Structure 1
Amino acid sequence: MATVLLAEYLFTRLRQLGVGSVHGDPGDYNLDLLDYVAPAGLCWVGNVNELNAGYAADGFARIKGIGALITTFGVGELSAINAIAGAYAEHGESRALGIVEDVQALIKSTNWPSRMTPYGKGLFDETLSNFHGVYKGKIDDPAPQELFDQADLIMCLGPHWSSSNTYEYSTIPKADANVAPREPITHDKLWRIFSEYLLPDDIILEGTGTAGHGIRELLLPPLTRLFGPATWLSIEYMLPAAQGAALAQRELQQERSRDNVLKQETKSGRTILFIGDDSFQMTAQELSTIIRHDLNVVVFLINNNGYTIERCIHGLHERYNAIARWRYLRAPSFFGVEDDAFTTSVGTWEELDEALNDERLMDGKGLRMVELCLDREDVPRGPLVACLERERRQIEGVMPRRGI
């Protein structure tokens, strides 16, 4: 009876399932296994650590439906466990697979008023006249709240009822039913402006922070995919995940081109990451993997000097919510990017407009990076504003401090 080695079988099946790349790190107990990666036709990514590798494999899986991660025994797998737990918590590898096209057809054919949760953003055509954006529950405007509360029927498809995805559970249905150019950029208008920069087939990742709230205001073009924090809320996740998603996007485009199904309107191939300075400092070294594999990634780094969400919750002016001041735009050069790579820092609407209309950013390839300088107490409209105002009142003594 014919036999096949276990390693050969595993990597052959991964290739058959559409996986073209394996994330991970070499270690004493997996070196023999790694000898079988390349012969199976797979790309060995080689991440900078196992935790980042796990995040990258998750990001890869959200684009292609499945990802692969190899760690070494003990220390490697324990290092990756937070990424694996996050993938399980948010069902990263199966998010919305098999339902998107059907729901899209339902929204278009019925013309029913349609909204989504933050975790579902990016799955549907937001240019339809009956699409009304993310429903914000108890902090939304009165009109959509009234429509929601008085509706005879609310159809929920693929619900994910976490507190962060439902505005503290207020979106769960009941059981029975132009700016001054030289002014500084602010969250309240920033995200709608970014809508004009996006292209069909872009992949967008939003960090767990102010970006995760602001990005809900984006109007996405068709075929755009968006991934953001919903349950696990690990702030280290998004940069490594962007690497994985960008690699998966490139593989998909290569497959479409080979099969002659790559359309002109879906040739963007960009992975766009919105990430805070605090999150970036935790996994900045993964830029080296993006550069090493020449991935098409645009990083918009929000520099507000620290943990702004934590400031809103507690410790508005405390040092423990501050971080070291980095010269962020030097990071790509340090990690090996070419000298002509596009990097810029913007702090006004005029500077932002100039950057977003620069063809090197819009149509370039490889890593590009834009630093967005915002005030440390500027946050998007919504729950963060309420938290910030409460913290300010507590500092002023208007409200009592919470006990422990």
Structure 2
Amino acid sequence: MSKQPESSLQAEVDRLRLQLQSFQVNHGSEPITIANYLLARLEQLKVTKMFGVPGDFNLGFLDFVEDHPTIEWVGNCNELNAAYAADGYARVKEHSIGVVLTTFGVGELSAINGVAGAFSEMVPVLHLVGVPSTTQQKTKPMLHHTLGDGRYDAYIKAASNFAIAQAHISVKDAAAAEIDRLLTECITRCRPVYLTLPTDMVFEKISSERLKIPLSRLTPPNDPDTEAFVLDEIIKLIDQAADDVVIIADACAVRHDVRVELNELILKTGYPVYSAPMGKTAVSENYERYGGIYVGSISHPEVKEKVESAKLILSVGALKSDFNTGNYTYSMSPSRTIEFHSDHTKVQYAGFPGIGMKELLPMLTARLSEAKHKNPVPKFSAVVPKTADGVISQAWLWPTMGKFFKPKDVIVAETGTSSFGILDVPLPQDSIFVSQILWGSIGWTVGSTLGAAFAARDLGLNRTILFIGDGSLQLTVQELSVMLKHGLKPIIFVLNNSGYTIERFLHGKERKYNDISNWNWTGLLGVLGDAEGTLSQSYTVKTQAELEALLATPSFADAGKMQLVEIIMPKHDAPRALMQQAELSGKTNAYVSIA
């Protein structure tokens, strides 16, 4: 029988103590406003930034935020971008959460796309909504921001589709327990939660006693007997595979905080390891036994052969979406696959609910030894092609950028050419790759870069670098002004290829609906807040030589100020993986009618 880790036991004790607190009345503890109780909990979760837009139903709460010693208000240009920023913040600051504050109705509905993306990709975000007073919610007057028909719960119902849990503070005595329940759901299940805070509840005072007990991010412990059985079954299959085992790391290895456990398994066994696109940088891409990206039929041939010929595959944190699996072309039969997830494990065709990988992986590692026969792993590298025309092609750009990256860089890639192009490029030690491959909301990376840059500053990471197409940037460009306002210094590479390239390759290569208006990109930062030209620098590069010279310039590479680089690229060029994915998606979507 497995031994329960000490951290899990302490988490269970704290959980029970909080449950007991819900039934006790504390007369001796210092009273605290509901607003400050919530902020205290967020501070305990290492939140230092709150994103959003002020509105009349959240202004009272905003006074408390502005006066808070460690949590800073980041005013965004719109609620959608604020939700994107909270998402990016949470992705980079992995043991914290993102927080977006909106106002009732008009504000929260504007944010909902960003929150939905966080739900889709398992990112812990608190969506906090300032709502009318408890009296107004009972009497239901025809209030501004309502639908005019008395349905004050319409927005709650809408939000319920994009939150793993909801709480509505209407009685002060239940506020602390509800806040704790909601935040615990957020950090343990790694998905957005939704909290409404009526204007009159902000100032109500409650006991602060519960704040002495920390919230736990650990899920309930695995059942020991079931866990022991699962371990025995996995060991049998590994023994039968005779060291012909590969590991595939995916997004939930990052989202559900098993990087350390996964790395220990990899280093002890020496099994070859690959990652899915959404799992890029879950494992160090400099590790000698790391072979690169596996994405079904789109994979490089040598990667595809190594993964698909293995006798056993250990899949850690898989998210099997179309773009993450090469349009479902994974050749991984359940008969030779073991899947580790946050709340269940699959051994071949058998599923074991409640057996999570956070506890299971260390126990598996403890029972394994170094592989006696180490299968060769293809070297993951990117070679810059030699061309004579000097054109900045997709095939040339990405391996060239690979030489520019440094350890601990945060690299954000927009959906489309950027996220596909960078897959084939090894990233340095301790770098963080940020993308939104499953939800795929174009323009998401601008707000996400804002949040990511704040998180990187909190954690003492290196540069924040964004790659985004000209079409995507036009959707959310306003947040560049917020970056300037707060002294952030990202490097922004704008891929100017005259429109929506990913859409062109999916369908309508010559259609006008994939064209956009060309902007004066190098004049943009002056308009958005740097009128004097002291906070930023902008460039346009049209040839390989111009870009290479810029990347080699120390003042540019040091990122001492915010910088925007417009890269002029061919209109009908795309990364290898994108072209292959687009071909597969086009067949699936059946754009062309069949007579």
TM-score norm. by structure 2 comes to: 0.62
**In the alignment, is the contact (CA less than 8 A) between 2:91 and 2:452 conserved in 1?**
yes
Aligned length: 383
1:239 aligned residue (419, 439, 446): 446
Q: How far apart, CA to CA, are the structure 1 residues paired with 2:58 and 2:260?
A: 40
- 1:55 match: secondary structure: helix
What pairs up with 1:159-198 in 2 under 5 angstroms?
159-171=318-330, 173-177=332-336, 178=384, 179-180=386-387, 183-198=390-405
2:79 is matched with which residue: 50, 73, 78?
50
Deviation at 1:239, TM superposition (A): 0.3
What is aligned with 1:248?
Answer: 455
Deviation above 3 Å: which 4+ runs of structure 1? 385-391
C-alpha distance after superposition, 1:291-340 (max 9, x if no partner): 00011211011111001111112111111110001011111111123525
Q: Within 5 Å, give how 1:199-278 maps onto structure 2.
A: 199-253=406-460, 268=462, 270-278=463-471
1:358 and 2:517 aligned: no
Given the alignment of the two structures, is residue 319 of structure 1 paired with residue 512 of structure 2, yes or no? yes
Q: Deviations over 1:112-147 (max 9, x none)?
A: 221101111122211122211111311334433232
Report the more deviating stretch, 328-337 or 292-301: 328-337
Look up the equivalent residue of 2:395 and give its one-letter code: D
1:177-232 deviation per Cα after TM superposition (whole angstroms, max 9, x unaligned): 15246510111122111111111111111101111110101211111000112211
With over 3 angstroms needed to count, the CA separation of the structure-2 counterparts of 1:55 and 1:386, relative to structure 1, is: closer
The structure 1 residue matched to 2:103, chosen from 72, 76, 87, is: 72
- Is the CA contact (8 Å cut-off) linking 2:467 and 2:492 kept in structure 1? yes
Q: Secondary structure at the residue paired with 1:184?
A: coil
| Greater mean alpha carbon deviation, residues 116-125 or residues 165-174 | 165-174
Offset at residue 172 of structure 1 (A): 5.8
- In 1, distance between residues paired with 2:578 and 2:568? 22
- Structure 1 residues 27, 278: CA separation in 2 closer, same or farther (over 3 Å shift)? same
Match of 1:402 in 2: 593
Q: Which amino acid is the alignment partner of residue 355 of structure 1?
A: L
Contact 2:417 2:578 survives alignment (8 Å): no
Give the corresponding residue for 1:107. 266
Counterpart pick for 2:309 among 143, 150, 175: 150
Is the 2:421–2:578 contact (alpha carbons within 8 Å) kept by the matching residues of 1?
A: no
AA matched with 1:241: S
Q: Does structure 1 retain, via aligned residues, the 8 Å contact 2:409–2:464?
A: yes
- Relative to the length of structure 1, the TM-score reads 0.90
Give the 3 Å change call, closer, same or farther, for CA 224–390 of structure 1 in structure 2: closer
Give how far 1:385 is off: 4.7
Contact 1:166 1:172 in 2 (8 A): no
Cα contact 1:126–1:133 (8 A) shared by 2: yes
CA contact (8 A) 2:494 2:567 kept: yes
Contact 1:108 1:128 in 2 (8 A): no
Alpha-carbon distance between aligned partners in 2 of 1:305 and 1:388, rounded to the nearest angstrom: 21
Rounded to whole Å, the distance in 1 between the matches of 2:331 and 2:439 is 19
Larger mean CA deviation between 73-82 and 304-313 belongs to 304-313
Q: 1:383: how far off?
A: 4.3
The offset of 1:78, in angstroms, is 0.3
> Quick check: which one's strand share is greater?
2
Give the aligned partner of residue 576 of structure 2: 381
Identity across aligned pairs (percent)? 37
2:42 aligns with one of 3, 8, 14: 14
Aligned partner of 1:262 in structure 2 is none
Structure 1 unaligned segments of length 5 or more: list them: 254-265, 392-398
Alpha-carbon distance between aligned partners in 2 of 1:24 and 1:172, rounded to the nearest angstrom: 43
Going from structure 1 to structure 2, the CA distance change for 1:149 and 1:252 (only over 3 Å counts) comes to closer
Q: Is the 8 A contact 1:206 1:212 kept in 2?
A: yes
Larger displacement relative to structure 2 (381-390 or 295-304): 381-390
Deviations 1:67-113, CA, capped at 9 Å, x for gaps: 11110110000000000010011012345142112222333333322
| Superposed displacement of residue 352, structure 1 | 1.3
Shift of 1:388: 6.6
Q: From 22, 41, 63, give the equivalent of 2:92.
A: 63
Q: Any gaps of 5 or more consecutive residues in structure 2? A: 1-26, 125-189, 191-251, 337-383
Could you tell which deviates more after superposition, 104-113 or 61-70?
104-113
Shift in Å, 1:354:
0.6
Q: Tell me how far apart the structure 2 counterparts of residues 54 and 215 of structure 1 sit (CA, whole Å).
A: 25
The Cα offsets for residues 5-49 of structure 1, whole Å up to 9 and x where unpaired, read as 110111111112101111001001111010000222211100000
Does the Cα contact within 8 Å between 1:311 and 1:388 map onto a contact in 2?
A: no
Q: Which amino acid aligns with 1:292?
A: K
**Distance across 1 between alignment mates of 2:54 and 2:500:** 33
Q: Over the residues paired in the alignment, what is the CA RMSD in angstroms?
A: 2.1
Report how far residue 400 of structure 1 moved: 9.8
Alpha carbons of structure 1 residues 46 and 294: separation in structure 2 relative to 1, 3 Å = same
- Please, which moves more after superposition, 348-357 or 49-58? 348-357
> Cα 1:4–1:361, aligned 2, differ >3 Å: closer, same or farther?
same
Give the conservation status (yes or no) of the 8 Å contact 1:274–1:302.
yes
Q: Find out whether 1:286 has 2:492 as its counterpart.
A: no
- In the other structure, the counterpart of 2:117 is 86
